Structure 1
Amino acid sequence: MEVRLRRADGSYRWHLKRAVPLRDAEGRVSGWIGTNTDIEEQKNTAQHHAMLNRNQSSAPLASAAQTWCGIAWAKLRNRMSLAASARSAHTRAVVSTTMATTPATLPASSTIGE
């Protein structure tokens, strides 16, 4: 059994407790033999490894999300650029068409040959 035990200085540390009963000739428990092994460092190491594994297992997911976001952003930028180009081309076409169909009017004083 793993338990936290308080030390004399007031700090708590993880211990592994093991015990087996001592039995008399009739099979009754007459005492116990056991150990308390300090496993604080092992618990800390295991916790650290678990944290690293969680981070590594989520890394591919984060990488995939970043890749997907990058692709989506590139497509959006491309569409925005195409839309801006289309608007610009449409504006140029409208201006060119308007200028070609509108007769130029000059003041009478600027007529050639007069």
Structure 2
Amino acid sequence: MSRVFAYPWADIYRLYVQKVERKGRTVEELDEVLGWLTGYTPAELRDFGGDLRAFFAEAPAVTPDVDKITGVVCGVRVEDIEDPLMQQIRWADKLVDELAKGKAVEKIKR
């Protein structure tokens, strides 16, 4: 699992962009959702140079509404994940999945 934590944020962000654009959503919508989760600005999301561990450790302001992010990602309920960093990563994955599936940004932001 620790290998995942060392993935460069830039690579993950690029994959998120590809996923949402394939589904007809915009980078601006992606940035709004990820910014809501982490407190990063769109420029900070694009330019962050560290790995996933650093990305979440340095997040300016994780939303206090994270307990409202529920559901399944990769067959695992995000609310049941015990490792705090893995849970944060899966929160982001869940929000991106919801965006890609067509859910309205305001509803994603709970």
**TM-score if structure 1 supplies the norm length?**
0.19
More helix by share: 2
Structure number with higher relative contact order (C-alpha < 8 Å, ≥ 6 residues apart): 2
TM-score, length-scaled by structure 2:
0.19
